[in-house]
Chain A
Amino acid sequence: MKLEDATPIIQLGEHLLVSMQGDLDDRAVLQLESDITRSVSETQATGVLLELSGLTIIDSFIARVIARLAGMIRLLGAEVVVVGIQPAVAITLLELGIGMQHLRTALNAADGMALLHEIRE
């Protein structure tokens, strides 16, 4: 499976929308990490929307990658908002003990986009 098929990175004005989908294997997740950071730096994006509604599970590894990714994007000068975490996935993360409190979240892409604008104010 080509990664581009699984995880499209779409530019929306000055923001990037990354939609993670399906059951990603570890290699795909790590590949995604380098793709996103490269895209942020190439496009000079000011915000990244990580859209996770297509992820059916987030285990501790994927959660860690997401947290790390958010840290890298911030270092590159952009803001990150995570949107679309499924209820069952959120409950599982809580039980696992992963609160991801340091991440900004929004309910859907539209809210996330508004939040990115708000943060830049």
Chain B
Amino acid sequence: MVLAIESPESVCSIDSEASLVTVRARVRATAVDLGFGIVDQTKLVTAASELARNVLRYAQRGRMIIEELDNGDRRGVRVTFEDSGPGIADVELALRDGYTTGDSLGIGLPGAKRLVDELTIDSRPGQGTTVVITAWDS
């Protein structure tokens, strides 16, 4: 059973390069608050930065939602990135190393996945993409 605690500051819009700094600061603050070690903090913030950048690159705008988790044993955080951009036609392909449609090196999604405990994608072409990452305190 996972208990999610929502707080008012948990939503953050992504609409410019400047919002990446806000995204990173919010995620870092949550990780610090949860007592994550420096390596886990850095991994999570980097993953969030990659995903927020994807939102900007492919959908121009979207939002991030941060939730703190508690499964009774460990504390964690779930970060959701939502956009209503073009969507990803083949999610499985997008998670494969080396895949890209933008001008990146194609490490965005698979790279972010390696940095967290869980990454799930829900995408509908033409409607948008939701990427959810979860990280637990190790």
Do any CB atoms of chain A lie under 8 A from CB atoms of chain B in the complex?
yes
Residues of A at the B interface (CB closer than 8 Å) are 23, 25-27, 56-61, 64, 86-89, 91-92, 95-98
Q: Do A25 and B39 have beta carbons less than 8 Å apart?
A: no
Q: How many A-B residue pairs have CB under 8 A?
A: 69
List A contacts of B28 (CB < 8 A): 56
Instruction: Identify the B interface with A (CB < 8 A).
Output: 17-18, 20-21, 24-25, 28, 38-39, 41-43, 45-46, 49-50, 53, 97, 104-105, 107-108, 110-112, 114-115
Instruction: List chain B residues, Cβ under 8 A from A26.
Output: 17, 20
> Contact at B42–A91, with CB atoms within 8 Å?
yes
Whether A61 lies near B111 (C-beta < 8 A) is no
With A57-B45, A59-B49, A64-B105: A97-B38 Cβ-Cβ less than 8 Å = no
**CB-nearest residue of chain A to B43:** A92
CA distance A57 to B115 in the complex (A): 13
| Chain A residues closer than 8 Å to B49, beta-carbon distance | 57, 59, 61
Name the contact of A91 in the complex, choosing from B39, B45, B111 (C-beta under 8 A): B39
Q: Which residues of B contact A57 (CB under 8 A)?
A: 24, 42, 45-46, 49
Q: Please measure, in the bound complex, the distance between the C-alpha atom of A38 and the C-alpha atom of B53, giving whole angstroms.
A: 28
Q: B53, A59: Cβ atoms under 8 Å?
A: yes
B20 surroundings in chain A (CB, below 8 A): 25-26
A27-B111 in contact (CB<8A): no
Contacts A23-B25, A60-B50, A88-B41: A96 and B18 contacting too (C-beta < 8 A)?
A: no
